[in-house]
Amino acid sequence: MLVTIIAFIVTIGIIVIVHEFGHFCAARLTGMRVKKFSIGFPPRMMSRQIGKTEFTIGWIPLGGYVQIAGMVDESLDGAEITGAPDEFLSKNLLQKVFALSAGVLLNYLTAFLIIAGLAAVLGIGVPAGTLVGEVLSDMPAQIAGVVSGDEIIAVNGQAVDSWDSLVKVVSTARDTVHLVVRRATGAEESMRLPTRDAG
């Protein structure tokens, strides 16, 4: 239970930091002055002024906000609109949209990069070969004697080396399918697998 709570807090924290960092970067790239970059809700844990921006960390890591000069945002603070060129309202429409949407865009980009990284490192997709993972109860494969860990190496006398080739051969069979499987022990065994059309 504790691990689940910690994992939830860490996940939310990462999402919030990435989201608010997106707003911050977009605002700075478009020449907007960022008054406050805040992660977490009060009470305040720590705060530091760097340049024109106050960076704040709160004790409750479930939200945050970026306060841009010249606009009322999630902080609900009153905006001091003076018409200065570094204020939100002084920017054109595209710059405003970019600053407002950058948080979500960076969240999507981060998720894509994480998934792509996992795919590159771990490999995600259809497994190579024809190794049997799970055999469903009372289905033809189990009835024929196929078990988890078997590798199907031939169907109806045709060698198969992928699930695509296996499916093609099985889908054209009208009666009984003859399988040759290699057990986890290395021994090969032949078996008959009845199809739905077998009467």
Does the active-site annotation cover 134?
no
- For residue 98, give the 3-state DSSP assignment: helix
Q: At what angle do helices 2-29 and 93-122 cross, to 10 degrees?
A: 140
Label residues 33-47 b or e (16+ Cβ within 10 Å = b).
Answer: bbbbbbbbeeeeeee
Which amino acid is it at 153?
I
Q: Which of 20, 54, 80, 188 is catalytic?
A: 20
Backbone phi and psi for residue 196, each to the nearest 5 degrees, phi listed first: -70, -25
Residues with active-site annotation: 20
